[in-house]
Chains A and B, each alone.
Chain A
Amino acid sequence: MSDPIRKQTNSALWLGLVITVLGILSNLLYFSKFPAAALPWLNLTLPAIGLIFLLIGLVRAFGQSQIYRGRIWGSIAAVLAVLFLAASAWLFVLVRSVPRSAGAPQIGQRVPDFTLSDSNGQPVALAQLFAASPGMPQPKAVLLVFYRGYW
Protein backbone atom coordinates (compact mmCIF):
# COMPACT_ATOMS: atom_id res chain seq x y z
CA MET A 1 0.00 0.00 0.00
CA SER A 2 1.65 3.26 -1.05
CA ASP A 3 1.95 6.24 1.30
CA PRO A 4 -0.47 9.09 0.63
CA ILE A 5 1.24 12.12 -1.01
CA ARG A 6 2.50 14.48 1.71
CA LYS A 7 1.06 17.97 1.51
CA GLN A 8 3.61 20.75 1.20
CA THR A 9 3.32 24.21 2.66
CA ASN A 10 2.08 26.61 0.00
CA SER A 11 4.90 29.04 0.68
CA ALA A 12 4.02 31.36 -2.19
CA LEU A 13 0.54 31.83 -0.76
CA TRP A 14 1.83 32.55 2.75
CA LEU A 15 4.51 34.91 1.41
CA GLY A 16 1.88 36.72 -0.64
CA LEU A 17 -0.31 37.14 2.43
CA VAL A 18 2.54 38.48 4.59
CA ILE A 19 3.70 40.95 1.94
CA THR A 20 0.15 42.17 1.34
CA VAL A 21 -0.38 42.72 5.07
CA LEU A 22 2.93 44.60 5.20
CA GLY A 23 1.65 46.74 2.35
CA ILE A 24 -1.50 47.55 4.32
CA LEU A 25 0.54 48.35 7.43
CA SER A 26 2.89 50.60 5.44
CA ASN A 27 0.07 53.14 5.37
CA LEU A 28 0.58 53.60 9.12
CA LEU A 29 4.20 54.61 8.65
CA TYR A 30 3.14 58.16 7.77
CA PHE A 31 2.67 58.62 11.49
CA SER A 32 6.21 57.47 12.29
CA LYS A 33 9.69 58.88 11.70
CA PHE A 34 10.13 56.73 8.58
CA PRO A 35 11.24 58.89 5.60
CA ALA A 36 7.90 59.84 4.14
CA ALA A 37 8.98 60.38 0.54
CA ALA A 38 9.42 56.61 -0.03
CA LEU A 39 6.08 55.65 1.48
CA PRO A 40 3.69 56.32 -1.43
CA TRP A 41 5.75 53.88 -3.54
CA LEU A 42 5.86 51.30 -0.75
CA ASN A 43 2.08 51.56 -0.34
CA LEU A 44 1.75 50.56 -4.00
CA THR A 45 4.57 48.10 -4.67
CA LEU A 46 4.17 45.94 -1.56
CA PRO A 47 0.51 45.04 -2.27
CA ALA A 48 1.40 44.48 -5.95
CA ILE A 49 4.22 42.07 -5.07
CA GLY A 50 2.00 40.41 -2.47
CA LEU A 51 -0.70 39.87 -5.07
CA ILE A 52 1.77 38.29 -7.50
CA PHE A 53 2.83 35.75 -4.87
CA LEU A 54 -0.79 35.09 -3.95
CA LEU A 55 -1.60 34.37 -7.59
CA ILE A 56 1.40 32.02 -7.88
CA GLY A 57 0.21 30.29 -4.73
CA LEU A 58 -3.34 29.98 -6.12
CA VAL A 59 -2.06 28.45 -9.36
CA ARG A 60 -0.30 25.83 -7.26
CA ALA A 61 -3.26 25.29 -4.96
CA PHE A 62 -5.65 24.73 -7.85
CA GLY A 63 -3.21 23.13 -10.27
CA GLN A 64 -1.62 20.70 -7.83
CA SER A 65 -4.34 20.39 -5.23
CA GLN A 66 -3.04 17.04 -4.01
CA ILE A 67 0.17 18.72 -2.89
CA TYR A 68 -0.74 22.33 -2.06
CA ARG A 69 -3.52 23.65 0.15
CA GLY A 70 -5.15 27.05 0.14
CA ARG A 71 -7.78 27.14 -2.55
CA ILE A 72 -10.37 28.75 -0.30
CA TRP A 73 -8.39 31.05 1.99
CA GLY A 74 -6.01 31.86 -0.84
CA SER A 75 -8.89 32.94 -3.06
CA ILE A 76 -10.31 35.14 -0.34
CA ALA A 77 -6.88 36.64 0.34
CA ALA A 78 -6.34 37.30 -3.35
CA VAL A 79 -9.68 39.08 -3.73
CA LEU A 80 -8.93 41.26 -0.71
CA ALA A 81 -5.45 41.96 -2.07
CA VAL A 82 -6.88 43.06 -5.42
CA LEU A 83 -9.34 45.37 -3.68
CA PHE A 84 -6.62 46.82 -1.51
CA LEU A 85 -4.28 47.34 -4.46
CA ALA A 86 -7.04 49.12 -6.37
CA ALA A 87 -7.73 51.36 -3.37
CA SER A 88 -4.00 52.13 -3.01
CA ALA A 89 -3.70 53.04 -6.67
CA TRP A 90 -6.77 55.28 -6.52
CA LEU A 91 -5.48 57.01 -3.39
CA PHE A 92 -2.03 57.41 -4.97
CA VAL A 93 -3.51 59.30 -7.91
CA LEU A 94 -5.82 61.33 -5.69
CA VAL A 95 -3.20 62.67 -3.29
CA ARG A 96 -0.99 63.75 -6.16
CA SER A 97 -3.68 65.77 -7.89
CA VAL A 98 -2.24 68.97 -6.43
CA PRO A 99 -2.22 72.17 -8.54
CA ARG A 100 1.08 73.25 -10.07
CA SER A 101 1.38 76.57 -8.23
CA ALA A 102 3.85 77.88 -10.80
CA GLY A 103 3.23 81.44 -9.62
CA ALA A 104 4.12 80.79 -5.97
CA PRO A 105 7.13 82.62 -4.49
CA GLN A 106 10.39 80.75 -5.10
CA ILE A 107 13.74 80.93 -3.30
CA GLY A 108 15.20 84.42 -3.67
CA GLN A 109 11.84 86.08 -4.38
CA ARG A 110 9.97 88.43 -2.08
CA VAL A 111 6.72 87.09 -0.68
CA PRO A 112 3.48 89.05 -1.13
CA ASP A 113 2.44 91.09 1.89
CA PHE A 114 -0.75 90.27 3.72
CA THR A 115 -2.89 91.07 6.77
CA LEU A 116 -5.10 88.30 8.12
CA SER A 117 -7.06 87.59 11.30
CA ASP A 118 -5.36 85.46 13.92
CA SER A 119 -7.26 82.89 15.97
CA ASN A 120 -8.54 85.65 18.29
CA GLY A 121 -9.92 87.65 15.41
CA GLN A 122 -7.12 90.25 15.58
CA PRO A 123 -5.58 91.43 12.29
CA VAL A 124 -1.92 90.44 11.89
CA ALA A 125 0.37 91.72 9.13
CA LEU A 126 3.37 89.77 7.86
CA ALA A 127 5.74 92.45 9.20
CA GLN A 128 4.29 92.06 12.72
CA LEU A 129 5.44 88.43 12.80
CA PHE A 130 9.02 89.71 12.82
CA ALA A 131 8.44 91.88 15.88
CA ALA A 132 10.02 90.97 19.19
CA SER A 133 7.63 89.57 21.78
CA PRO A 134 7.95 89.20 25.58
CA GLY A 135 10.78 86.79 26.33
CA MET A 136 11.79 86.39 22.67
CA PRO A 137 14.04 88.57 20.49
CA GLN A 138 13.19 89.49 16.91
CA PRO A 139 13.01 86.30 14.87
CA LYS A 140 15.46 86.19 11.98
CA ALA A 141 13.01 84.16 9.92
CA VAL A 142 9.34 83.24 9.85
CA LEU A 143 7.97 79.94 8.58
CA LEU A 144 4.71 80.32 6.66
CA VAL A 145 2.85 77.02 6.67
CA PHE A 146 -0.10 76.82 4.32
CA TYR A 147 -2.23 73.80 5.07
CA ARG A 148 -5.47 72.31 3.83
CA GLY A 149 -7.47 73.01 6.96
CA TYR A 150 -10.43 70.98 8.21
CA TRP A 151 -8.35 69.21 10.90
Chain B
Amino acid sequence: MAISVDAPEVSEHLRGKQGYTFTFLSDPNTEVIRRYDLLHKAGGPEANDIARPAEFLVDRTGTVRWVNFTEDIRVRPRAQQMLAAARSIP
Protein backbone atom coordinates (compact mmCIF):
# COMPACT_ATOMS: atom_id res chain seq x y z
CA MET B 1 0.00 0.00 0.00
CA ALA B 2 1.12 3.56 -0.68
CA ILE B 3 1.71 6.33 1.85
CA SER B 4 2.30 9.97 0.99
CA VAL B 5 1.47 13.47 2.19
CA ASP B 6 -1.32 13.77 -0.40
CA ALA B 7 -4.79 14.32 1.07
CA PRO B 8 -7.27 11.40 0.78
CA GLU B 9 -9.18 13.02 -2.10
CA VAL B 10 -5.94 13.44 -4.07
CA SER B 11 -4.93 9.82 -3.50
CA GLU B 12 -8.41 8.59 -4.43
CA HIS B 13 -8.23 10.58 -7.67
CA LEU B 14 -4.86 9.03 -8.49
CA ARG B 15 -6.12 5.60 -7.54
CA GLY B 16 -9.20 5.91 -9.76
CA LYS B 17 -7.27 7.40 -12.65
CA GLN B 18 -4.68 4.63 -12.72
CA GLY B 19 -7.03 1.81 -11.73
CA TYR B 20 -4.92 0.74 -8.75
CA THR B 21 -6.52 -1.74 -6.35
CA PHE B 22 -4.12 -1.39 -3.45
CA THR B 23 -4.68 0.85 -0.47
CA PHE B 24 -3.57 4.48 -0.43
CA LEU B 25 -3.06 6.11 2.96
CA SER B 26 -2.64 9.80 3.67
CA ASP B 27 -0.10 11.28 6.05
CA PRO B 28 -0.54 15.03 5.49
CA ASN B 29 1.21 16.04 8.74
CA THR B 30 4.15 13.69 7.97
CA GLU B 31 3.56 12.12 11.39
CA VAL B 32 4.08 8.53 10.29
CA ILE B 33 6.70 9.60 7.77
CA ARG B 34 8.72 11.03 10.63
CA ARG B 35 8.11 7.97 12.78
CA TYR B 36 9.80 5.98 10.01
CA ASP B 37 12.55 8.64 9.70
CA LEU B 38 11.68 9.22 6.05
CA LEU B 39 11.11 12.96 6.22
CA HIS B 40 12.53 15.01 3.37
CA LYS B 41 12.27 18.59 4.63
CA ALA B 42 11.37 21.06 1.89
CA GLY B 43 11.82 18.29 -0.66
CA GLY B 44 8.53 18.85 -2.44
CA PRO B 45 7.72 21.03 -5.45
CA GLU B 46 6.57 23.93 -3.25
CA ALA B 47 9.44 23.41 -0.78
CA ASN B 48 7.06 21.52 1.48
CA ASP B 49 7.93 18.53 3.66
CA ILE B 50 7.41 15.18 1.94
CA ALA B 51 8.56 11.55 2.28
CA ARG B 52 11.75 10.38 0.61
CA PRO B 53 10.98 7.28 -1.43
CA ALA B 54 11.35 3.99 0.46
CA GLU B 55 9.75 0.56 0.36
CA PHE B 56 9.36 -1.94 3.22
CA LEU B 57 8.20 -5.52 2.89
CA VAL B 58 6.69 -6.38 6.29
CA ASP B 59 5.55 -9.82 7.47
CA ARG B 60 2.65 -10.60 9.84
CA THR B 61 4.79 -10.05 12.93
CA GLY B 62 5.53 -6.53 11.73
CA THR B 63 9.15 -7.40 10.94
CA VAL B 64 10.92 -5.93 7.94
CA ARG B 65 11.92 -8.68 5.47
CA TRP B 66 13.12 -6.47 2.62
CA VAL B 67 13.77 -2.77 2.33
CA ASN B 68 14.76 -0.34 -0.39
CA PHE B 69 16.10 3.19 0.12
CA THR B 70 16.75 4.93 -3.14
CA GLU B 71 19.84 7.15 -3.50
CA ASP B 72 18.51 8.69 -6.70
CA ILE B 73 14.80 9.39 -6.76
CA ARG B 74 14.63 8.56 -10.47
CA VAL B 75 15.73 4.98 -9.80
CA ARG B 76 12.88 2.90 -8.42
CA PRO B 77 13.06 -0.83 -7.58
CA ARG B 78 11.56 -3.17 -10.11
CA ALA B 79 8.60 -5.32 -9.12
CA GLN B 80 10.68 -8.51 -9.57
CA GLN B 81 12.94 -7.62 -6.66
CA MET B 82 10.01 -7.07 -4.35
CA LEU B 83 8.21 -10.21 -5.50
CA ALA B 84 11.31 -12.35 -5.03
CA ALA B 85 11.60 -11.08 -1.47
CA ALA B 86 7.92 -11.74 -0.83
CA ARG B 87 8.17 -15.30 -2.13
CA SER B 88 10.99 -16.03 0.28
CA ILE B 89 8.71 -15.44 3.26
CA PRO B 90 7.38 -18.78 4.58
Contact = CB atoms under 8 A, between A and B. Distances in A.
Interface of A: 30, 33, 36-37, 39-40, 92, 95-96, 98-99, 101-114, 116-121, 124, 126, 129-130, 138, 140-151
B63 A149 contact: no
Nearest to A149: B4
13 contacts: A37-B75, A99-B43, A101-B36, A107-B65, A111-B58, A112-B36, A117-B26, A118-B26, A126-B58, A126-B62, A140-B86, A142-B57, A143-B86
Chain B contact residues: helix, strand, loop or mixed: mixed
Contacts of A147: 2-4, 51, 53
Nearest to B77: A36
Given A142-B1, A149-B4, A124 B36 contact: no
Given A104-B37, A119-B12, 18 more contacts: A101-B54, A105-B56, A107-B65, A107-B66, A110-B61, A111-B58, A111-B64, A116-B3, A116-B26, A118-B11, A126-B58, A143-B58, A144-B3, A144-B55, A147-B51, A148-B40, A148-B44, A149-B5
Given A119-B8, A140-B59, A147-B3, A101 B52 contact: yes
Contact of A145 (B27, B52, B55, B69): B55
B89 interface: yes
Interface of B: 1-6, 8-12, 14-15, 23-27, 32-33, 35-41, 43-45, 50-67, 69-76, 78, 82, 86, 89-90
A151 to B, nearest CB: 6
A105 B58 CA distance: 10
B74 A39 contact: yes
